[in-house]
Structure 1
Amino acid sequence: MSERQTILNSLKTGGQLTAADAARATGLTSMGARGHLERLEQQGLVTYHETVQGRGRPRRYWTLTSAGHQLFPQQYDHLSIELIDNVRELFGQDGLNQVISTRQDKALQKYRRHLDPLSRTEDKLRELARLRTQEGYMAEVIATDSQTWELIEHHCPICAAAKNCQGFCTAELEVFKASLGDELEVTRREHLLADGERCRYQIRPVEKE
């Protein structure tokens, strides 16, 4: 993978980077990494903001622009939106809800087939993240303590469709809950469509009364 793509991937998964962060990710010097970032800025793919910390020079934090995010796979945005609009026009909202429900059922069957044989919660979550990454979501699992995890999705390949019909997002949350079982509580803590940098879900055992 090129240094340029490594920096772009790191920005996508990390949200923001300094030149020093980019240097560590690529093995370049800070000056070399800064040169890549400045070229990406000239191409309109990244931007930055500066933060003053103490008496030193302001620290520059780099993030992807909308054009930068578009470099990552989107599953046929325009076609998806057109199909959603056509289904809604021909069959009404009930028809569209049925399409979403069918997609939800198929996803649930797929995830349960992979997760049900696993006994440990963390193993289930890592397998779910693997499946979601295969689908383009750039997912990872982070343990925040011994009984709490976060499933983080750094990219949404159906973002345009979800903006047009947020039923897709509601269905995905319900699929996660059903896939992981009644003993786990799944809560969305950050949402791309609510100005979040990513979609982030907290998973922990249901508190027993």
Structure 2
Amino acid sequence: MKKNAKTEDAILALLKARGSMSAVDLAGKLNITAIGMRQHLKRMNEMGMIAATPLIASKPKGAGRPATSWELTTLSHNKFGDSHALLTKDLIESARAVFGDEGVEQLVAHREDQTLKLYQEAMSAASPLKVKVAQLVRLREQEGYMAEVEEDGQGGFLFVENHCPICTAATVCQGFCRAELSIFRTVLGPDAIVERVEYLLEGGRRCSYTIRPKSLN
């Protein structure tokens, strides 16, 4: 039972990080047989943890098993937590009711200032942009953002956050999102261009950012 739970936690983590995947791809990533993977997926589907979605068939119609991918349900997305989300959301709404929008913006600015100082201290020894980005990934990982980075092959990077532990709070105060983008731009320095290219609150599966040196422009 414990082995099944460990495997299924790994499946959930992959689907959270990568989006929908086929049974074959999941089996390959976790180094188990396709038959074993389908058994896990069947059980997880019956428990409401994942849902099947059709894939564009790569074989002629009627040839072999229908192409299917799997994705997380809302139940499983919630498994990753949201940093006391409902309490935070209620506190923000209460602060807005008592202090108005200006008061909430002051709270966001205070949090931004604290986070910026923490990041600047942690990244003080980082110099090349690649090292700064790697350190930023580590900092965001520690905060539960499931962060990762990919080089784009042209001297830049794609910085990805597969989970947002403050997403519920951000739905009632998008100042948090503006502050985060500002923090990234500040800590990565004036020689880096940082742009958000995928946004969870606008229907994206995750938040992602392009990071490239100004010298590439």
Between the aligned partners of 1:208 and 1:17, the Cα distance in structure 2 is 34
Q: Do residues 202 (structure 1) and 207 (structure 2) align? A: no
Q: Do residues 98 (structure 1) and 106 (structure 2) align? A: yes
The structure-2 alpha-carbon separation of the partners of 1:137 and 1:100, relative to structure 1 and needing over 3 Å to count, comes to same
CA contact (8 A) 1:74 1:159 kept: yes
The aligned counterpart of 1:123 is: 131
Q: Do residues 48 (structure 1) and 52 (structure 2) align? A: yes
The aligned counterpart of 2:192 is: 184
- The code of the aligned residue for 1:53 comes to S
Give the deviation of 1:25 after TM superposition: 2.6
Give the deviation of 1:77 after TM superposition: 1.3
TM-score, structure 1 normalization: 0.95
Task: Specify the SS of the correspondent of 1:189.
Answer: strand
CA contact (8 A) 1:6 1:25 kept: no
Between the aligned partners of 2:145 and 2:14, the Cα distance in structure 1 is 14
Structure 2: gaps of 5 or more residues: none
CA RMSD of aligned residues (A): 1.5
Q: Do residues 22 (structure 1) and 26 (structure 2) align? A: yes
Give the deviation of 1:208 after TM superposition: 7.8
- The code of the aligned residue for 1:60 comes to T
Between the aligned partners of 2:149 and 2:30, the Cα distance in structure 1 is 23
Give the deviation of 1:117 after TM superposition: 1.2
1:59-208 aligned within 5 A: 59-207=67-215
Judge which range, 110-119 or 79-88, deviates more.
Answer: 110-119
Give the deviation of 1:53 after TM superposition: 2.0
CA contact (8 A) 1:132 1:138 kept: yes
Task: Specify the SS of the correspondent of 1:145.
Answer: coil
Matched length: 209
Match of 1:35 among 39, 61, 64: 39
Structure 1: gaps of 5 or more residues: none
Task: Specify the SS of the correspondent of 1:70.
Answer: helix
Judge which range, 75-84 or 54-63, deviates more.
Answer: 54-63
Judge which range, 99-108 or 54-63, deviates more.
Answer: 54-63
Give the deviation of 1:155 after TM superposition: 0.3
TM-score, structure 2 normalization: 0.92
Q: Percent identity?
A: 37
